[in-house]
Amino acid sequence: MIIEIPGEITFTRTYAIPPVQVRLPLQAHARTVWLGAITAIGVCFTVPFLALWLVSVATLGRGILERPVGSLVFLTMLSFSLITLLPQTLFGIADLLRRGPALVLEAQGFTDRRAGLTLPWSAVAAARIVHDKHGPRAHLDLKTAVPPPRALFVRGGDGWLGRRRPDTYVLNLGLLSVRGHVLSETVSALVRLNGDTVK
């Protein structure tokens, strides 16, 4: 199946942009260079924080009785930093080790192998494309609830630790081998083809 999407606006071309034809299924792989760099930065911060946290827990056991407030504040700040950095680092390592495409867009639905989720477009009530500091993302409102997996760190949400409500899913379209414009416009077109709305 081939669908047409609007062409991308560039600095050199802002009008009379021809449409782009996209052949389905559209497979997007992880961009290993950028992902590797971001993951390396995450590892550089996470490993020292983890080591410092383990040393602090081992050595502050005696100091907590002498300075309970300072010790607990230090451990809390260190734990918060570690929990904030750890998911992105683990997700980055998993993406680098994964074989095959990370995201597959088909006429019937999509498969996000990063989150282990396959959804038909008929399950999507509305979509909203967002371009922000996290890159292009598609916020999908679902017709029926799809409970998130019971794990400490999950994907598909924009809450803390990737948490999401059962009736929403955030499809990350950044750091993939296909341009974000092509992915976001393809998602919009496929949602519209199934009679749903794009905000």
Helix, strand, coil distribution of the chain in percent, nearest 5 = 45, 25, 35
Please check the confidence at residue 164 and state whether its pLDDT lies above 80: no
Please check the confidence at residue 157 and state whether its pLDDT lies above 70: no
Nearest to residue 172, comparing CAs of 157, 152, 150?
A: 157
Please check the confidence at residue 23 and state whether its pLDDT lies above 80: yes
Out of 48-62, 152-166, 180-194, least confident range: 152-166
User: pLDDT tens digits for 109-126?
Assistant: 999 998 888 999 999 999
Please check the confidence at residue 86 and state whether its pLDDT lies above 70: yes
pLDDT at 154: 60
Cα separation, 155 vs 44, whole angstroms: 22
pLDDT tier at 162, thresholds 50, 70, 90:
low
Peptide bond into 87 cis (omega under 30): no
